[in-house]
A = this chain, B = another copy of it.
Amino acid sequence: MQYKIKQQEFRIKFQALSKDNNVRLGQITTQRGIINTPAFLPVGTNAAVKAMSPDEMKELGAEILLSNTYHLCLRPGHEIIREVGGLHSFMKWDGPILTDSGGFQVFSLAPLRKIKDNGVEFRSHIDGSLHFLTPERVMEIQRALGADIAMVFDECTPFPASKEYAHNSLKLTTEWARRCKEARDNPPTPPFKKGGCKLNPSLEKGDVGGFSDLQQSLFGIVQGGVYTDLRKQSAEELIQMDFDGYALGGLSVGEPKELMYDVVHFTTPLLPQERPRYLMGIGDLMDVLEAVSAGIDMFDCVMPTRNARNGTLFTSQGRVSIKREEFRKDPDPLDPDCNCYTCQNFSRAYLRHVFMSREILSMRLNTTHNLHFYLEFFRKMREAIKDNSFAGFRKAWTPVLQNNFHEG
């Protein structure tokens, strides 16, 4: 027996606001808030953006977070998150959340994976336990999490891959996408159990974070490796199924940049104008500029957060390593043009000191700065698109993004 959902329109709506050639300015409306596009999605793998509190993410202006299905189904387990009221309540983030499908992680993290028609068998990278993910199960997990935007389960085609491999992989991804959509449209379970919870009084009323009648948005993922005809086939097959948005997957997996840019420029125009387009896992800002010029609307990447923890910081003058000797006595803020908490309060000398001392505060201050830099970059980019000056924006930022003081 299947759980009957009310036919309410909860899914996202995408509205293109203006265009500067292929470059798009838009808004994705979700029941949890508006996402201005082009948008950057900070990554909260384990239901937390590393080093940050959800309040701080809100203050930084993040409009949507990404979280990882693969990680959360292994730990703590999606059933636990379902029971305590869903991912939003669990991690105390009331804005939209996109969850990936776990496809990428199964293929990049899990040992001993075996692809079968029905799904993928793999061992957990945490404790070696055996798991089996199918398209239906992946949808069930994302439903338990309560993601606003779910992604279809896909095989992330590696690079290099023969055309035959890429073709077979694509066929599998298309079939899995069909099964994911079927599962989304006919969910087998109610979204959440009722239960009392002091932190979430709405649970008492069975209205769990507004999601008791959740109908998730679902994005298809275009695969096909570096073969344009396969990318075209994948896009066309997915478009026929009518997803709420479309992602480009299987990029930035080792292929040369030019090849990636070619695929993005070839594939993006094939996708429907009226749906958001998402380039998965890309976050190098030079790549972002290229992809936005092709009409991409959404990006996610661990680059700002991971680099922050390693002491690599983005500034209006270029990328720097905070451990550089020259910062030892430097009383100035990291980036005098930045108005983030870190730059408003601490000197380069202090940032270097807490980094060298491995203080947790170092990771916090660096992450705050890098995320602020990224979100501000996207905000300014949207302003430029609005003013029909994306080309000028790109030209002005290119030397900055290529400047690298990294070697300390």
Interface residue ranges, A against B (CB under 8 Å):
46-48, 50-54, 71, 75-76, 80, 83-85, 90-92, 195-200, 203, 328-333, 336, 341, 345-347, 349-350, 352-354, 356-357, 359-361, 363-365
Contact = CB atoms under 8 A, between A and B. Distances in A.
Given A197-B331, A331-B200, A349 B76 contact: yes
Contacts of A85: 331
A283 B349 CA distance: 32
Oligomer copy total? 2
Main secondary structure of the interface of A (DSSP, over half): loop
B353 A199 contact: no
B50 A359 contact: yes
A347 B90 CA distance: 7
A73 B349 CA distance: 15
Given A349-B76, A361-B52, A331 B83 contact: yes
A34 to B, nearest CB: 24
Given A76-B328, A76-B352, A356-B75, A361 B197 contact: no
A195 B349 CA distance: 14
Contact of A199 (B46, B329, B332): B332
Given A198-B336, A328-B76, A349 B90 contact: yes
A75 B353 contact: yes
A58 B52 CA distance: 19
A75 B352 CA distance: 11
Contacts of A329: 80, 83-84
A80 B52 CA distance: 29
Nearest to A197: B331
A58 to B, nearest CB: 12
A76 B199 contact: no
B50 A360 contact: yes
